[in-house]
């Protein structure tokens, strides 16, 4: 299945387009890694709206499902990154 913003009932060809949609339409600064793989710490995606307990200006996530849960619980936005293998 394709990535989807459940709030807008809109599907996207890839996760990068969904991230762009979230930033433009929902004004939340969430991003994925720029390259084809995770960063040096094993993180795949980030929420720059939230600080961590260590004072970093973003939260890091190891999977799309973790980011989905964070966005739902913290920001009230329902999205789905149904991309198969992660």
Average per-residue pLDDT in the chain? 80
Residues of the chain by 3-state class (helix, strand, coil), percent to 5: 25, 15, 55
Tell me the mean pLDDT in the region 53-76: 83
3-state secondary structure of 56: coil
Rounded to whole angstroms, the Cα distance separating 45 from 40 reads 12
For residue 59, the model assigns a pLDDT of: 79
Every domain of the chain and the residues it spans: 4-80
> What mean pLDDT is predicted for residues 36-59?
71
């Amino acid at each position: 299945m394709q990535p989807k913003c459940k709030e807008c009932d809109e599907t996207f060809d890839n996760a990068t387009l969904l991230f762009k949609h979230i930033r433009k339409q929902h004004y939340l600064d969430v991003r994925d890694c720029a390259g084809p793989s995770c960063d040096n710490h094993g993180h795949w995606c980030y929420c720059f709206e939230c600080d961590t307990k260590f004072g970093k200006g973003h939260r890091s996530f190891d999977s799309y499902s973790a980011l989905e849960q964070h966005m739902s619980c913290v920001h009230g936005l329902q999205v789905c990154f149904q991309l198969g293998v992660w």
